[in-house]
């Protein structure tokens, strides 16, 4: 409705609508028709690639210059799931991210075949390559005696290349924590293979939907890399969808995501299930003080 009002106010409005969105096909078709009827330029993405990224951009003339305001999210622009899912979003006017998102929309609307991005990591352009390289870099850091650590929070992990590199990282000495809500094809805790990898799933009041990627990057003094985005580590996300993950550049936000968000999920012992070597899950024992990560964040909001 806001997009329609903007268009009626004389703004140029373009909406990329994924008609094959699971559970939302009928709803998206109806909204696409309404947008088109109101004169909004509606685009249906790229043939053979499902559009799964979540991005919005507002361009404003401020004085003598144009300023891009960008919102990037792990969550869908959906008023129902916004109340049921845990997600993260970033609002920024960073020039490089703004240029990248403009390029992404040109890519999605067919105006360009953009393959180079300054900040965004985009599937199917370079997401697979970049994720594998980041894991390999942690393994190299561990082998060199430098700080090495990986924490990944996603919905699913099934891609065999990514799993093999995580195994290699574990064998190189990297401590790996995976918070995977759904399917996980990796076997944690196997001697000489994955003994430094731990996997947990959190199933609580809200559906865990945010994707967070943390890499120590050889140094704990500001060089750590933290990214969020739309992609799970599955072949379909890496190769057959338009996905984005993006770095958090602001040090305060980076610290919050690492030291509060990820720490809370790792600490959770109220809704956590531990994946065992056998592929079965065991409810985490409620030893000591009970900590519920979702309730913790609800309390933070209320407080």
Residue 248 tokens read as 């958090």
Measured CA to CA, the distance from residue 274 to residue 69 in angstroms comes to 40
Measured CA to CA, the distance from residue 185 to residue 182 in angstroms comes to 10
Around Cβ 102, how many Cβ atoms within 10 Å? 16
Closest CA to 151 of 263, 284, 268, 293: 263
Q: Report cis status (omega within 30 of 0) of the bond before 101.
A: no
Residue 18 tokens read as 């994924």
Spatial neighbors of 232 by CB under 8 A, at least 6 apart, are 154, 155, 156, 157, 211
DSSP 195: T
Q: Tell me the CA distances in angstroms from 236 to 45, 48, 83, 137, 293, one per residue in order.
A: 16, 11, 27, 24, 29
Around Cβ 45, how many Cβ atoms within 10 Å? 19
Catalytic positions are 52
Burial string for 52-82 (b: 16+ CB within 10 Å, else e) reads: bbbbbbeeeeeeeeeebebebbbbbebeeee
């Amino acid at each position: 409705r806001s997009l329609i009002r903007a268009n009626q106010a004389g703004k140029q409005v373009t909406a990329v609508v994924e008609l094959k969105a699971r559970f939302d096909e009928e709803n998206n078709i109806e909204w696409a028709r309404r947008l088109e009827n109101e004169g909004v330029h509606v685009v249906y993405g790229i043939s053979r690639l499902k559009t799964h990224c979540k991005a919005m951009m507002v361009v404003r003339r401020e004085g003598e210059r144009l300023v891009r305001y960008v919102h990037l999210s792990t969550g869908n622009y959906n008023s129902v799931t916004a109340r049921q899912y845990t997600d993260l979003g970033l609002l920024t006017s960073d020039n490089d991210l703004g240029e990248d998102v403009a390029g992404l929309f040109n890519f999605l609307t067919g105006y360009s075949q953009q393959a180079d991005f300054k900040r965004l990591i985009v599937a199917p352009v370079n997401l697979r390559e970049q994720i594998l390289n980041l894991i390999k870099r942690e393994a190299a850091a561990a082998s060199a005696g430098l700080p090495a650590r990986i924490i990944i929070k996603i919905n699913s992990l099934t891609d065999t290349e990514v799993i093999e590199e995580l195994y290699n990282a574990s064998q190189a000495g990297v401590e790996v924590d995976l918070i995977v809500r759904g399917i996980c094809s990796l076997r944690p805790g196997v001697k000489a293979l994955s003994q430094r990898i731990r996997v947990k799933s959190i199933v609580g009041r809200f559906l865990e939907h945010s994707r967070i990627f943390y890499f120590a990057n050889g140094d704990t003094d500001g060089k750590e890399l933290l990214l969020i985005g739309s992609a799970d580590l599955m072949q379909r996300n890496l190769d057959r969808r338009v996905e984005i993950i993006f770095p958090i550049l602001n040090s305060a936000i980076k610290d919050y995501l690492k030291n509060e968000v990820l720490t809370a999920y790792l600490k959770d012992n109220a809704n956590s299930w531990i994946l065992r070597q056998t592929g079965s899950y065991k409810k985490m024992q409620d030893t000591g003080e009970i900590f519920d990560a979702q309730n913790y964040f609800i309390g933070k909001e209320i407080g």
